[in-house]
Amino acid sequence: MEPVEIDVGRHNPGVDPGLELWGWEIPVYLFLGGIVAGLMVVPALLELRGRKPEGAGLRMAPWLAAVLLSLGMGALFLDLGHKLYVWRFYLAFRPTSPMSWGSWILLLVYPVLVLQGLGTAGEHGRRFLRTLAGPLSGLVDRLTALADGWRRPVLTASVVLGAGLGVYTGLLLGTTPARMLWNSALLGPLFLTSGLSAGAALLLLLPLTTEERHAVARFDMGAMGTELVLLKLYLTGLATGGEPQRIAASTLLGGEWAPQFWALVVFAGLGAPLALDAAELRRHRPFTRLAPVLVLVGGFSLRAVLVAAGQDVSFALVP
């Protein structure tokens, strides 16, 4: 084999080292982070608008969000190359670094979730937490008083941090200029709306009152509609850009990743749930769990497809 063929024809696997750096851990982390954003924002917005949580689903949302965020951070930890040095993220704050923003947002989310959860917990739940805390039951009482007294600021902080978390999951990819499929300012808003939709979908699988279910379903429909618009703008921006952007767009529009993208993300994850939700709300059809399950499948598929396709050697490098 001629040397020119090795270098220019890229037949040597060592020519492009490290193109596929991210495995399953990153889509899982991005997906769970998006759901947590939805579980923070949707219940907080409903309560800020005067709808007090009555169903168990809205009451348990902050605690469920804390568990899912911990699982997501566990997946991210598994992906780290130098796991023992993760604490160095918190030695400084870099305003121009999405990872620095994300690290501090993740740290601030936990206390806000605790205060949000204590504020929605009923008397039975608070007694359980005091019993669980044991000798620290006094701390639970003080935090509960803080959650009640500062209820509106806590809810506002939940909306702000949840939105920041959702946008950050998209910026984590969107600020990587070497990957044409990720190099778009729309990935932040797109992942935020997708996360809000996924969080609302998970809430619909939990015990809610009829009024709460209708309110969450309407929110989910709005988020899915916005996500469709952002997807169109995102693909249009790539398809009308330079040659590298057009090549990147082609892998979703009609290339190798098009079947997964259109079947799992666009049709199953957005189109079908929108139709089912519209039938339930406007034609008073019985509630089905199929719609929120499809939304969750679509939310994960969006991230899995973009992460995998963005690392695809066939279009990541343009000769």
Per-residue pLDDT tens listing for the chain (319 residues): 444 444 444 444 444 444 456 777 889 999 999 999 999 999 999 999 887 888 788 989 999 999 999 998 888 777 666 666 665 665 666 666 666 666 778 888 999 999 998 888 777 777 777 777 778 777 777 888 888 888 899 999 999 999 999 998 888 777 666 677 888 889 999 999 999 999 999 999 999 998 899 899 999 999 999 999 999 999 998 888 878 788 888 888 888 888 999 999 999 999 999 988 888 877 777 778 899 999 999 999 999 999 888 876 544 444 4
For residue 318, the model assigns a pLDDT of 45
For residue 17, the model assigns a pLDDT of 45
For residue 15, the model assigns a pLDDT of 47
201 part of a folded domain: yes
What tokens appear for 294 in the block? 């499809």
97 part of a folded domain: yes
For residue 179, the model assigns a pLDDT of 76
67 part of a folded domain: yes
For residue 215, the model assigns a pLDDT of 92
10 part of a folded domain: no
Give the count of domains, the chain.
1
The answer to whether the CB of 38 falls within 8 A of the CB of 198 is yes
99 part of a folded domain: yes
Supply the CATH number for residue 307's domain.
1.20.1630.10
1 part of a folded domain: no
- The candidate with the shortest Cα–Cα distance to 306, out of 178, 177, 180, is 180
For residue 7, the model assigns a pLDDT of 47
For residue 10, the model assigns a pLDDT of 47
Identify the domain containing residue 197 by its residue range: 19-316
8 part of a folded domain: no
Could you tell me where the DSSP H helices lie in the chain? 3-7, 25-48, 56-79, 98-120, 123-133, 137-149, 151-174, 187-204, 210-239, 243-253, 258-260, 272-282, 290-310, 313-316
Alpha-carbon torsion (17, 314, 181, 241), positive or negative = positive
The answer to whether the CB of 194 falls within 8 A of the CB of 299 is yes
5 part of a folded domain: no
